[in-house]
């Protein structure tokens, strides 16, 4: 079957399929396994009987290490996933009659099954437009100013995603502007940082510059997509906001009894800046893919490739042909296919994918 099209490309692709850690898929960075450092840290936490519910040494150290990385005395909580992190953070920022503004493509809106509304007991998600997955400041302002009566949910929080769902990154300046606007409009600022590491890898600035120093009140920091097994950290820069958050987590079923296995992964990721290297690797592979796909006829790269995602507009027949060759990726609105790179994506994976792109493009022009 395969060798009918382009024998050389097929051999390269087959070799990679057999050898690759990524298993030839670009569907999501959460398809990747656990990076060795995080796994090792979990194994290290696996000794003897240890106090539960976060009263352990690993959790204490992981919190301290996050405080060091953020260079501030923040309050840290570990929960099982990003949906819970986002939803519980929003619930903390908003009363039930408040609204939370986010981009129309935000995970909060499109991929959380209404969890932010559910956990906040009714806070309505209000959708802002904006290019490349970033909220337009003018549209945020419009949403806040258009109504002030009691018949409309009062906007009280703004949520931005860094890096965005479309693989773009807010610059330091852009985040500062968002922070200033949020302040002027009396909005609390939440950051969905499921891929914050990828943004830091691109911007090459300290974490503080694109979080608390720019006015962010709470960050949900991603672990799973960065090389952890599971779990995200909720980081409050305004400690006052974190009051009773532990009760909120427990009630939501988000308090791990064997917390040390959630928190230990962060030690593995944070020590020696593994988190940053993982993100740099994923970003570099995405950049390489975006560059090399320019040589394939009939494709269009949709957004600036600034993190670990490449969005490609291509004919459905080409997408089908790639899938038949075993490649996994998501297709979103229209013909846009998303290719995600992870901490363990290799240059050989990219080469094999690009070779199959060429092979399929020549038979499905």
Ligand X SMILES: *Cc1c(COP(=O)(O)O)cnc(C)c1O
Residues within the interface to ligand X (CB under 6 A): 81-83, 107, 161, 165, 192, 194, 224-225
Cα 168 to its chain centre, rounded Å, is 11
Q: Which is nearer to ligand X, 16 or 87 (CB)?
A: 87
Q: Which is nearer to ligand X, 107 or 190 (CB)?
A: 107
| Shortest spacing between CB 81 and ligand X, in angstroms | 3
Strand partners, 191: 160, 219
Report how far Cα 253 is from the mean position of its chain's Cα atoms. 22
**For residue 157, which phi and psi values (nearest 5 degrees)?**
-145, 155
Contact in structure between 75 and 236 (CB atoms under 8 Å): yes
Nearest-approach distance from CB 57 to ligand X, in angstroms: 26
Let me know if 258 is exposed, middle or buried by CB neighbors in 10 A (0-12, 13-18, 19+): middle
Q: How far is the CB of 225 from ligand X (least distance, A)?
A: 6
What is the token pair recorded at 325?
A: 């060759």
Helices (H) and strands (E) in the chain, counts: 14, 11
DSSP letters, 223-277, are -GGGT-SS-EEEEESSGGGGTTHHHHHHHTT---TTHHHHHHHHHHHHGGGHHHH
- Minimum distance from residue 164 beta carbon to ligand X (Å): 8
HSE-up of residue 158 (Cα within 13 Å, Cβ side): 29
Residue in the structure block whose two tokens are 């690009």: 354
Kindly state the smallest distance separating residue 116's Cβ from ligand X, in Å. Answer: 11
Which strand (E) or helix (H) includes residue 37?
A: helix 36-44
Contact 224, 232 (CB under 8 A): yes
65's enclosing H/E stretch is helix 57-70
Q: Which one, 6 or 344, has the nearer CB to ligand X?
A: 344
Of 224 and 321, which has the nearer Cβ to ligand X? 224
* 99/193 with CB nearer ligand X: 193
CB of 210 to ligand X, least distance (A): 15
The token pair that represents 184 in the structure block: 């002027």
CB of 296 to ligand X, least distance (A): 26
Q: Can you tell me the distance from the alpha carbon of 255 to that of 247, in angstroms, rounded to the nearest whole number?
A: 9
Residue 275 or 357 having the CB closest to ligand X: 275
CB closer to ligand X out of 224 and 255: 224
Pick 81 or 278: Cβ nearer ligand X: 81
C-alpha 319 chain-centroid distance:
24
To ligand X, the closest distance from the beta carbon of 241 in angstroms equals 20
């Amino acid at each position: 079957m395969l060798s009918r099209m382009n024998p050389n490309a097929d051999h390269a692709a087959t070799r990679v399929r057999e050898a690759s850690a990524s298993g030839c898929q670009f569907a999501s960075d959460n398809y990747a396994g656990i990076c060795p450092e995080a796994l090792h840290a979990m194994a290290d936490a696996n000794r003897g009987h240890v106090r539960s519910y976060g009263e352990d040494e690993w959790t204490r150290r992981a919190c301290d290490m996050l405080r060091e990385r953020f260079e501030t005395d923040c309050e840290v909580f570990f929960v099982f996933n990003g949906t819970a992190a986002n939803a519980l953070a929003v619930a903390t920022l908003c009363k039930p009659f408040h609204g939370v503004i986010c981009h129309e493509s935000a995970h909060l809106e499109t991929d959380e099954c209404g969890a932010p509304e559910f956990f906040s007991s009714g806070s309505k998600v209000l959708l802002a437009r904006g290019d490349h997955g970033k909220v337009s400041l003018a549209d945020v302002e419009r949403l806040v100013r258009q109504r002030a009566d009691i018949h409309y949910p009062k906007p009280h929080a703004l949520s931005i995603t860094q890096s965005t769902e479309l693989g773009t990154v807010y610059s330091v300046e852009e985040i500062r502007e968002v922070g200033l606007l949020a302040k002027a409009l009396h909005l609390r600022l939440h950051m969905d940082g499921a891929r914050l590491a990828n943004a830091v890898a691109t911007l090459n600035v300290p974490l503080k510059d694109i979080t608390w120093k720019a006015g962010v009140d709470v960050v949900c920091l991603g672990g799973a997509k960065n090389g952890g097994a599971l779990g995200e950290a909720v980081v409050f820069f305004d400690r006052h906001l974190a009051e009773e958050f532990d009760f909120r987590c427990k009630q939501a079923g988000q308090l791990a009894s064997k917390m040390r296995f959630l928190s230990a992964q962060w030690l593995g990721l944070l020590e020696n800046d593994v988190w940053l290297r993982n993100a740099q690797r994923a970003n570099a592979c995405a950049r390489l893919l975006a560059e090399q796909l320019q040589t394939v006829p009939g494709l269009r790269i949709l957004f600036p490739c600034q993190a670990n995602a490449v969005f490609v507009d291509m004919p459905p027949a080409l997408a089908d042909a790639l899938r038949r060759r075993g490649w996994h990726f998501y297709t979103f609105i229209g013909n846009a296919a998303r290719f995600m790179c992870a901490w363990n994506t290799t240059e050989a994976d990219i080469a094999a994918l690009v070779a199959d792109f060429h092979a399929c493009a020549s038979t499905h022009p």
